[in-house]
């Protein structure tokens, strides 16, 4: 159960971020979380550029994506990830307030691995974030590093 890969959380709202981190804290996952404040930062992280130029190589265990974010929104980030052979294996979970049908449909059409609506009730929110962190950060086996590259070559 050693967790080496980080959890990338894209959340523009600092309060939501704080609450999410509080939830992760319960399972001591908070230090694994890398917080991005908008879509552009997520892409910077994934492509190791800008602020994340000097970070350690490797993809995150999962990307928790909010839909509505400044600069580059969640769907745009998702599209970029799923269109890039090197990034495509990264699990992407939409974590959003929207229960709108078209958001759901579009997210899955673009290749989202899961779609979670943030519950209003904090205990449920806590539970949802915790379960996400535990599942994607600990239970789920992430794609091997380099698998993407072979896929990239073959396609």
26 or 84, CB closer to another protein? 26
Give residues 59-98 in contact with another protein (rule: CB under 8 A): 67-68, 96-98
Asked if residue 16 binds another protein (CB under 8 A), the reply is yes
The binder of another protein chosen from 3, 5, 13, 76 (CB under 8 A): 13
Distance separating alpha carbons of residues 74 and 129, to the nearest angstrom: 18
Smallest gap, in angstroms, from Cβ of residue 100 to another protein?
6
Cβ atoms of 40 and 72 within 8 Å: the answer is yes
Give, in degrees to the nearest 5, the angle at Cα 127 between 28 and 63.
Answer: 65
Half-sphere exposure for 146 (CA within 13 Å, toward CB): 0
17 or 43, CB closer to another protein? 17
Smallest gap, in angstroms, from Cβ of residue 28 to another protein?
17
Q: Which two structure tokens, joined as six digits, stand for 47?
A: 């492509």
Smallest gap, in angstroms, from Cβ of residue 88 to another protein?
27
Which residues make Cβ contacts (< 8 Å) with residue 146, sequence separation at least 6? Answer: none
Place of tokens 């890398």: 34
Q: Which two structure tokens, joined as six digits, stand for 101?
A: 């049908």
100 or 145, CB closer to another protein? 100
Give residues 95-134 in contact with another protein (rule: CB under 8 A): 96-101, 118-123, 125-126
Give residues 23-52 in contact with another protein (rule: CB under 8 A): none
Which residues make Cβ contacts (< 8 Å) with residue 139, sequence separation at least 6? Answer: none
Binding interface with another protein (CB under 8 A): 13, 15-16, 19, 22, 67-68, 96-101, 118-123, 125-126
């Amino acid at each position: 159960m050693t967790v080496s890969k980080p959890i990338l959380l894209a959340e523009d709202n600092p309060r939501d971020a704080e609450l999410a981190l509080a939830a992760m804290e319960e399972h001591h996952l908070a230090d694994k979380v890398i917080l991005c404040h908008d879509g552009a930062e997520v892409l910077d992280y994934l492509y190791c550029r800008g602020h994340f130029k000097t970070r350690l190589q490797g993809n995150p265990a999962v990307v928790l994506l909010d839909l509505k974010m400044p600069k580059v929104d969640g769907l745009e980030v998702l599209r970029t990830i799923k269109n890039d052979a090197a990034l495509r294996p990264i699990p992407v979970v939409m974590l959003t307030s929207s229960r709108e049908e078209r958001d759901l449909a579009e997210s899955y059409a673009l290749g989202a691995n899961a779609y979670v609506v943030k519950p209003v009730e904090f205990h449920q929110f806590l539970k949802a974030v915790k379960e996400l962190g535990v599942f994607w950060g600990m239970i789920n086996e992430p794609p091997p590093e380099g698998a993407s590259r072979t896929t990239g070559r073959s396609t």
